[in-house]
Amino acid sequence: MQRQEAQQRIETLKAVLWENSRKYYVENAPTMSDYDYDQLMHELEALEAAFPDLRTADSPTQRVGSDSEGGFAKYPHKYPMLSLGNTYSIGEVEEFAQRAVKSLDRGFTFCCELKFDGTAICLTYRGGRLFRALTRGDGVMGDDVTANARQIANIPHVLKGTGFPDEFEIRGEILMPYDSFERLNREREVNEEPLFANPRNAASGSLKLQDPEEVGRRGLLCTLYHIPTGQVDYKTHDEALRAAESWGLPVSHERRICQDINEIEAYIAHWDSERKNLPFATDGIVIKINEMDSQRQLGYTAKSPRWAVAYKFKAEQALTPILSIDYQVGRTGAVTPVANLEPVFLSGTMVKRATLVNEDQMRLLDIHEGDCVYVEKGGEIIPKITAVEPSRRLPGARIPSFPLRCPDCGTPLVKSEGEAKWFCPNTDGCPTQIKGKLEHFVSRKAMNILCGEATVEQLYSLDLVRTPADFYDLSERELLLLEGWKERSARRFLDSIRQSRKVSFERVLFAIGIRFVGETTARDIARHFGNIDAIAAATKEELLEVRDVGEVIAESVVTYFRDPRHLEEISRLKAAGLQLSVESPAEAASEALMGQSIVISGNFSISRDEMKALIEAHGGKNSSSLSGKTSFLLAGEKPGPEKMKKAAELGIRVLSEADFRLLLPGMEAPSPESVRDEVEPTLF
C-alpha cells in the first residue's frame, strides 16, 4: 500500500472507530460487533506500524474510548483506567505467554478469570467506608456515580474485618443478570420504550440514571477483579483478591492459577462451554501475570498493560429460517438488508432479526428466500448471519433482488467507488432520513428536547416539522389540536424547546447531523473555529488543522456547508435563537500564555486535565506532540524520556512546574509533597 493510500485508510478507520466507540460507551447503542470493531482496530495498528510517521497521539490505538457524559461530577482516577489488548486466537495467547517467559527473569504463574460483559467501575474506600464510585470515563477522569453505586445490593458501604488500607481503589464491572435484563425489557416493551440490545448496554444505561432509587430497582450486581499495585502489599494478584474478599468485597470466584499455556487452554475450553450456564453475560477470559513484581517489570503500552491479555470467545451460533427480508434506510441514507427470522434464543436474548450487512454480503452468503441460516452474536451483541445451510434449502428458492430504488422515497440508489453500501442520495427529501435526523436533533446528547420517535412521526406526518428549525415555529395552539396532546404535555414539550436555546454551540453542531461528526469532533471543531459562520467558510485544509479531524471528516463538513439548503437551515436556527458560537470565557485568568503552544509530561501538583485547563485559562494552547511550533515542554516529576529527548533534539526549552507558575500572575510554586503520582496506570 502506498503512503497516500495508507493515510486515507487510516483517517477513515480513525473516524469509524471513534464514532463506534462513542456509540458503545456513551449511547449504549453499538452498531458494530466487538469482533468487527477489533478487526478494524487491528488493521489500524498494522497500518500505523507500517507507516509510523502517520501514527498520532489522538489515534484510537493510543487512547481508550470514553463513557463520560453530562449530568455527573467528574473526578480523576488515582491511576489511569486502561483497556486490555483483545485476541480471538489461542495462538496469540500462546505468543503472549512466550513473550512473558522471554521478558521475565524470574518464575511466575498466570491468573485466569472470566471477562465480564458489563460496564467498568472504580470504587474508592476511605477509612473502611465507600467514599466514591467512578465510571471509567476517558481513563483519566470518571463520572461520579457514588449515589447509584450505593443502591447496588452487593457493594458494601462499610468493609468488614481488618488489614485494609486507610484508602484504596478497587476496579471491577457492573453487571445485569439475564433475569433482571429480561424483566427490564418486558417493562420497557409495555411502556413502549426502546428495548436494550443486551445486558451490557442495560447495565451501562442503568448505572448512568439520575434517579438512584430506580438504579436500585434494576437488579444490578458488581464483581471486582483488580486492586492497582502500590496500594496493598501482596506478592500476587490472587492474594490481593483473596484479601478483598475477606473485607466483604464481591470478587470473582471463577478464577484459576495456571502454571503454563496448557492449563490456560484447558481453562478457556471449560468456560467456552460452561459460560452458557452462568446467570450473567461473559464474553471471554482475561489472562494476567499473577506476580506483582513481574507485572511491574513488564509495564504498559500507551493504552494497555503488557502483563495481561483478553481472549474473546467466538460468538454462539443457532440455525433458524429466514421468514422475509426488509431493506431499511438509515439516517445517513445507507440501505441495509435485514432478515426477519423465526425467533431463536441466543446469548441470553431472543433473536428475531439479523443484519445481512449489504448486497455484497448477501451475494457472498448466497442467500435465497426461505433459507435456513446460521445466526451468531458478534461480540455477544449484534445478531449477524454468518452462513447458509444448503441442505435445508427449499426446491426452487429464488435469490432476493436488492432494490434499485430507495424503499422509502423511490429515488435511484447510488454506490460510490470504494463503498460497500448502497445509499439514497435524497438526503433532504427521503422521509426515513428526515425523521432519523429529526430524532437525532432532539436526542438527549444533542438538543435534549422532550420528543420521542412517535412524536417525530406524528409531527412529520402532519407536515408540521420537516427540518429542525420547524420545531421552533410550533405553538401550543397547534399542538392542542393534535390527537393525544393535553395542556401539560404541550407545555412540557415547548418548555424543553425553549430550554434547548441555551444548549452550547458544540452540542448544536453535533445535533445538526453532519456525517462523521460525532459529539467529540463537534466539540473540537466548535472550539477551534468559534462560530458557525467560520466553520461554513472553512476550507478542507483549515478543517484538517483541528484535532482528530482527518480527510473523511473534513470533506464531509465542507460538503455539508456547500449545500444552499443547509445554509438556509442554519439561518433559520440563528433566527430561532440557538447558540451558534462559543461563549467567550467568563473570566480569562490572563493572557500570559497567549499564542504559545505547550506540551506537558510527567506528574504535577494537580491532575493533567487541570493543568491543561490552567494553560487554556491563561491563553495557551495544549498540544499532544512536540514540533518546531512548540513554545516549551512543561515537565513535571518523572517526565517521559522520549519527550525529553525530542525536546533536546529540537532545541525546545523545558520548564519545571515551579518555573511555569512564575509565568502566571498570582500563582505560587507547588510544595514538593503535593505532586500527584500518575505514572503507574492500571487496567479496568
pLDDT tens for 509-538 read 999 999 888 887 898 899 889 999 999 999
Catalytic residue among 115, 303, 312, 377: 115
Handedness of CA 560, 565, 571, 572 (dihedral sign): negative
CATH pick for 597-683 out of 3.30.70.980, 3.40.50.10190, 3.30.420.40, 3.40.50.300: 3.40.50.10190
Evaluate if residue 673 carries a pLDDT over 60: no
Which of 117-121, 234-238, 468-472, 644-648 is predicted with the least confidence, judged by mean pLDDT?
A: 644-648
Query: Measuring CA to CA, how many Å separate 606 from each of 66, 70, 377, 630, 656?
Result: 21, 22, 44, 22, 14
Taking the C-alpha atoms of residue 549 and residue 553, their distance in angstroms, rounded to an integer, is 6
Residue 439: helix, strand or coil by DSSP? helix
> Which band of pLDDT confidence, cut at 50, 70 and 90, is reported for residue 316?
confident
- Checking if the pLDDT of 508 tops 70, the result is yes
Q: In whole angstroms, what is the distance from residue 285 CA to residue 264 CA?
A: 10
* CA–CA gap between residue 454 and residue 458 (Å, rounded): 6
CATH number of 431-575: 1.10.150.20
Ranges in the chain annotated CATH 3.40.50.10190: 597-683
**Kind of pairing, strands 129-135 and 317-329?**
unpaired
Residue ranges, CATH 1.10.150.20, the chain: 431-575
Biggest CA–CA distance in the chain, Å, is 85
Report the alpha-carbon angle 678-680-682, nearest 5: 110
Q: What per-residue confidence (pLDDT) applies to 32?
A: 67
**Where do we find the cell 482475561?**
286
- Predicted confidence band of residue 95 (pLDDT cuts 50, 70, 90): very high
Contacts of 676 (CB under 8 A, 6+ apart): 603, 604, 605, 606, 607
Residue 653 Ramachandran class (φ > 0 left, ψ -120 to 50 alpha, else beta): beta
631 versus 80: which is more confidently predicted? 631
| Distances in whole angstroms, Cα of residue 460 to Cα of each of 331, 577, 603 | 15, 22, 54
Q: Are 225 and 112 in contact (CB under 8 A)?
A: no
Residues of the chain with CATH 1.10.287.610: 3-54
Could you tell me which CATH number the domain at 317-418 has?
2.40.50.140
Least confident range of 31-35, 459-463, 650-654: 31-35
Tally Cβ neighbours within 10 Å of residue 3.
11
Residue 28 has pLDDT above 60, yes or no: no
Average pLDDT over residues 340-344: 94
Tell me, yes or no, if 646 is annotated catalytic.
no
Per residue in 536-594, pLDDT (tens digit) is 999 999 999 887 788 888 999 999 999 999 999 999 999 999 999 987 644 567 888 98
Distance of CA 181 to the CA centre of its chain: 21
Domain with CATH 2.40.50.140 in the chain: 317-418
Question: In CATH, which superfamily holds the domain spanning 3-54?
Answer: Helix hairpin bin (1.10.287.610)
Q: Any idea which of 84-93, 332-341, 452-461, 664-673 has the lowest mean pLDDT?
A: 664-673
Question: Which CATH code for domain 74-312?
Answer: 3.30.470.30
CATH 3.30.470.30 domain span(s) along the chain: 74-312
Q: What is the pLDDT of residues 180-202, one digit of tens each?
A: 988 888 887 666 566 777 888 88
Cβ–Cβ under 8 Å, residues 58 and 524: no
Mean pLDDT of all residues in 24-33: 60
Q: For residue 465, what is its C-alpha cell?
A: 416539522
What pLDDT is recorded for position 232? 79
